[in-house]
Amino acid sequence: MAEQDVPFRDKKIETASREELEKVQLAGLKKQVENGLKTPFYRDRLIKAGITSPDAITKVSDIRLLPFTTKNDLREAYPFGLLAVPKEEVVRIHASSGTTGTPTVIYLTQNDLNLASDTMARSLTAAGGTRSDIIQNMMTYGLFTGGLCFHYGAELMGAMVIPTSAGNTIRQLKFMKDFGTTIIHATPSYLLHLHAAIESAGYSFEDLKLRKAITGAEPHSEELRCKIQDKLGIEVYNCYGMSEMNGPGLAFECIYRAGMHVWEDRYIMEIVNPETLEPVPDGETGELILTILCRDAMPLIRYRTRDLTRIIPGTCECGRTHRRIARFTGRTDDMLIINGVNVFPSQIEEVLLRTHGVGASYFITVEKKGVLDKMTVQVEITPEMFADDARVIHALKDRLCQEMAALITIRPTIIIKQPGSIPISEGKAKRVEDLRNLP
Ligand code: AMP
Ligand code: ZN
């Protein structure tokens, strides 16, 4: 494709020199430190690190003087410990999926939301989206950012958006056909599911105007992308985001689909060794650390995403100067992503610990059932409960299933085991078996 055919939303900033980008980053970083000093959470930490004013930061690499922030810190700061503006200025909150114990919540002002939408619109444009597109968003609407944050970005770009949200495949297909949907946004597993459903519902691909799919929210392989592209005859783009960083689109593939550009005027990225927290050389895999520069309501400085990736050295054919990251290879913590929903084994444990009649041992298995993920939790019950009649045990099973579904938003299969039947491992307990090969 000729250079002039590469689509841009804001060519000046998307192709800015490193020097120009660093100027923007430095101003943004100072602002985040200034905002941080206004929050109860960061004030102490920054002062402890010897940072009492934004003037302590004179170059982008001074970011290393600042403390890291973790998901747990966000929980500790819940609900308003990270608020840097008067409460009346906040117009929306979002939360991470699968962290309903104490959720990790973000707050946004109207200006923050405008910038989040603009980032998303920029990403969609980079992937070749235009105002003539009809975009069907199959991600869950609600606290999860994949719904609303994607939606507003697509609207800002000028596309017609169909907010079908997740699930109800028959209705999804009907809308796709009747409205001539050209772009869909869904998890990789759902894209596979959709492919199977198109065939079994008797639709033909010629009935559909689909040309692109935007996918993300969970790890997936290049092979899976190729498979979906081949089966559906469309282009599939990888999109990375997380609620803590304003949702999808913080890193996105351009039309060359050769890694995801991180929008470096809005985020500072570092890749560090997860053990030493020291930077790794470009091209080497490490944990992605992000600092958001495009949000006033809530600063997040050197946030440990736990996601493992590497910088792709060299420049992209599209001419963008914002560096690219490779597909994620995993996480540094035990978070599972099940059909796009984040689940921590500790959440399962939380339900078990508060339930009468249940022992301390459990075992989680995650596997593929068709194209979707299925989670099974084996639970040991106490000897007293074991002696009870079958109806009581059945009721316990139902209750566990409901309580877990309420906490993690997906329904696991519960298998009740007799006392002492789940082996106790020596050393660090192995409580999870993930039988899915990366799709
Ligand atoms: P949430 O805050 O619920 O949106 O979850 C964010 C997490 O989902 C990230 O930290 C990643 O672990 C995962 N994730 C999001 N997008 C992708 C992607 N494109 N590839 C792999 N994992 C992803
Ligand atoms: Zn590019």
Tens digit of each residue's pLDDT (9 = 90 or more) over 145-169: 999 999 999 999 999 999 999 999 9
Q: What is the mean pLDDT of the chain?
A: 92
Q: Is 125 left (phi over 0), alpha (psi -120 to 50) or beta?
A: alpha
CA 285/CA 288 separation, integer angstroms? 9
CA 247/CA 116 separation, integer angstroms? 8
Q: Per-residue pLDDT for 98 more than 80?
A: no
- At 319-335, the pLDDT tens digits run 999 999 999 988 888 88
Ligand 2 centroid to Cα of residue 317, in Å, is: 6
Q: Per-residue pLDDT for 16 more than 70?
A: yes
User: Does ligand 1 come within 6 angstroms of the Cβ of 239?
Assistant: yes
User: Does ligand 1 come within 6 angstroms of the Cβ of 248?
Assistant: no
pLDDT-derived band at 92 (thresholds 50, 70, 90) equals: very high
Inter-residue contact 25 to 264 (CB < 8 Å): yes
What are the residue ranges of CATH 3.40.50.12780 in the chain?
3-332
CA 140/CA 124 separation, integer angstroms? 19
Ligand 1 centroid to Cα of residue 391, in Å, is: 40
What value does the mean pLDDT take over residues 11-26? 98
pLDDT-derived band at 1 (thresholds 50, 70, 90) equals: low
- At 283-324, the pLDDT tens digits run 999 999 999 999 999 999 999 999 999 999 999 999 999 999
Return residues with CB closer than 5 A to ligand 2 (ion).
254, 316, 318, 320
Q: Which CATH number fits domain 3-332: 3.40.50.150, 3.60.70.12, 3.30.750.24, 3.40.50.12780?
A: 3.40.50.12780
What count of other Cβ atoms lies within 10 Å of the Cβ of residue 178? 10
Substitution candidate for ligand 1 out of 97, 143, 215, 328 with most atoms within 8 A of CB = 328
Global pTM?
0.88
- Of 114-123, 128-137, 184-193, 244-253, the range with the lowest mean pLDDT is 184-193
pLDDT of 3 reads 54
Residue written as tokens 């507003």? Answer: 152
Closest-lying ligand 1 atom to the alpha carbon of residue 251: 19
Closest-lying ligand 1 atom to the alpha carbon of residue 305: 10
What are the residue ranges of CATH 3.30.300.30 in the chain?
338-434
Going by their DSSP bridges, the two strands 311-312 and 303-309 should be labelled as unpaired
Ligand 2 centroid to Cα of residue 254, in Å, is: 5
> Atom 9 (ligand 1): residue with closest C-alpha?
242
pLDDT of 144 reads 92
Q: Is 98 left (phi over 0), alpha (psi -120 to 50) or beta?
A: left
List strand residue ranges (DSSP E) for 138-208, in order: 160-162, 183-186
Q: Which CATH number fits domain 338-434: 3.30.70.100, 3.30.70.360, 3.30.230.10, 3.30.300.30?
A: 3.30.300.30
User: Does ligand 1 come within 6 angstroms of the Cβ of 136?
Assistant: no
pLDDT of 47 reads 97
Closest-lying ligand 1 atom to the alpha carbon of residue 327: 20
CA 399/CA 416 separation, integer angstroms? 12
pLDDT-derived band at 185 (thresholds 50, 70, 90) equals: very high
User: Does ligand 1 come within 6 angstroms of the Cβ of 252?
Assistant: no
pLDDT of 181 reads 98
Closest C-alpha to 218, from 368, 341, 374, 332: 341
What element of type H or E holds 199? helix 188-200
pLDDT-derived band at 362 (thresholds 50, 70, 90) equals: confident
Give yes or no for a cis peptide into 86 (omega within 30° of 0).
no
Closest C-alpha to 330, from 297, 371, 299, 285: 285
Sheet of 330-331: strand order equals 267-272, 286-292, 303-309, 330-331
CA 129/CA 304 separation, integer angstroms? 31
- At 410-430, the pLDDT tens digits run 899 999 998 888 876 555 557
Ligand 1 centroid to Cα of residue 23, in Å, is: 29
Inter-residue contact 80 to 105 (CB < 8 Å): no
Residue written as tokens 């494709």? Answer: 1
Contacts of 52-61 with C-beta under 8 Å, sequence gap 24+, read 54/30, 55/30, 57/26, 57/29, 57/30, 57/33, 58/26, 59/22, 59/26, 60/22, 60/25, 60/26, 60/29, 60/268
Going by their DSSP bridges, the two strands 311-312 and 324-325 should be labelled as antiparallel
Ligand 1 centroid to Cα of residue 242, in Å, is: 6
Percent of the chain with pLDDT over 90: 72
Ligand 1 centroid to Cα of residue 152, in Å, is: 19
What value does the mean pLDDT take over residues 171-177? 96
